[in-house]
């Protein structure tokens, strides 16, 4: 008897108008596992993440967290579920009207009802975890570089010590060194928390660094899933093409030939 998966998607379908984005998608993430979903742009990775978070509603199928069907929950119930999660957005999505520490402490103050003074102490601790000094705490996000903003976003995602953390393209738009710094931070922070993580990415190097398991998404479906270590030896034609970045192969891009 296997354990209930932390996150499970069963036959999830989502389309916009006539365009089908997710086509009977099945996926599960075990407790404490780090799953990276890779795939080209437009394959439905972001839509999948938004469906899990409840920002989009799938047309059919079920999404379960801790074995509980949350597909159609909204309002207070959805807020309770989201208390268990943290999310790092692709462009960090920091609140530009608030200071850095207020951003990190946002969930603690608003959702967990913590006093501002206590929350500030924790926020500064979390900032230290991602390598940012307390002198940055009172700056606004616009004063920081992109790499710093991303680290603040990470600090915000882990501030309330969530059980599940989602990462949306954590290394996109960063230089290779900063990308590596973020990868290491993600690994260390999530391991310390024992959190389950679901990452979407198209950066193979980053995926291999942070993943226990990797799933390849193509046309709204998982075409391959396996251990991160198997990705170079599995011999799957989809994976081969994606890893090597070939134009020729089973993955067809919607590009009109001139």
Partner 1 sequence: MEKNFLATIGRVFLSFMAAVGRIAIFTAHSLRHCIVPPYYLRLLGKQMMDIGYYSLPVVGMTALFTGMVLALQIYVGSSRFNAESAVATIVVIGLTRELAPVLSGLMIAGRVGAAIAAEIGTMRVTEQIDALVTLSTNPFKYLVAPRLIAGLVTLPFLVLIGDIIGVSGGFLVATEKLGFNASNYLNNTFEFLEIRDVVSGLIKASVFGFIVTLMGCYHGFNSTGGAQGVGKATTNAVVSSFVLILISDYFLTVLLID
Binding site for partner 1 (CB under 8 A): 50, 53-55, 79-80, 82-83, 85-87, 89-91, 93-97, 106-107, 110-111, 156, 166
Cα 29 to Cα 95, 159, 164, 175: the distances in Å are 30, 22, 10, 29
Q: How far is the CB of 158 from partner 1 (least distance, A)?
A: 12
Closer residue to partner 1 in complex, CB, 48/231? 48
Burial 75-99, CB ≥16 within 10 A → b, else e: eeeeeebbebbbbbbbebebeeeeb
Closer residue to partner 1 in complex, CB, 12/105? 105
Region of 72 (left: φ > 0; alpha: ψ -120 to 50; beta: rest) is alpha
Closer residue to partner 1 in complex, CB, 146/227? 146
Give the whole-angstrom CA distance, residue 35 versus residue 239.
16
Closer residue to partner 1 in complex, CB, 153/242? 153
Give the whole-angstrom CA distance, residue 144 versus residue 139.
8
Q: How far is the CB of 55 from partner 1 (least distance, A)?
A: 5
Count how many residues are written for the chain: 258
Closer residue to partner 1 in complex, CB, 31/50? 50
Give the whole-angstrom CA distance, residue 105 versus residue 160.
8
Q: How far is the CB of 154 from partner 1 (least distance, A)?
A: 13
The residue with tokens 């609140």 is 95
Closer residue to partner 1 in complex, CB, 193/228? 193
Q: How far is the CB of 149 from partner 1 (least distance, A)?
A: 11
Q: How far is CA 247 from the centre of its chain?
A: 27
Q: How far is the CB of 129 from partner 1 (least distance, A)?
A: 18
Q: How far is the CB of 106 from partner 1 (least distance, A)?
A: 5
């Amino acid at each position: 008897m296997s354990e209930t998966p932390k996150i499970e998607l069963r036959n999830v379908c989502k389309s916009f108008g006539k365009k089908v984005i997710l086509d009977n998608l099945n996926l599960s993430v075990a407790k404490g596992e780090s799953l990276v979903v890779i795939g080209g742009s437009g394959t439905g990775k972001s839509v999948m993440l938004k469906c899990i978070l409840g920002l989009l509603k799938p047309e059919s199928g079920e999404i379960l967290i801790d074995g509980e069907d949350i597909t159609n929950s909204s309002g207070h119930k959805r807020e309770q579920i989201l208390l268990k999660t943290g999310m790092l957005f692709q462009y960090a999505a920091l609140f530009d009207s608030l200071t850095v520490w207020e951003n990190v402490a946002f969930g603690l103050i608003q959702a967990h009802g913590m006093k501002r003074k206590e929350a500030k102490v924790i926020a500064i601790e979390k900032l230290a975890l991602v390598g940012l000094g307390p002198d940055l705490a009172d700056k606004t996000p616009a004063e920081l570089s992109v790499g710093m903003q991303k680290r603040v976003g990470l600090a915000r995602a882990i501030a309330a010590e969530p059980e599940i953390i989602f990462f949306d393209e954590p290394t996109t738009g960063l230089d290779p060194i900063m990308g590596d710094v973020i990868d290491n931070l993600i690994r260390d922070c999530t391991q310390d928390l024992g959190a389950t993580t679901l990452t979407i990415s198209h950066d193979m190097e980053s995926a291999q660094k942070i993943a226990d398991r990797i799933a390849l998404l193509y046309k709204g479906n998982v075409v391959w899933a396996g251990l991160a270590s198997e990705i170079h030896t599995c011999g799957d034609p989809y994976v081969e093409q994606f890893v090597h970045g070939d134009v020729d192969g089973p993955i067809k891009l919607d590009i009109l030939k001139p």
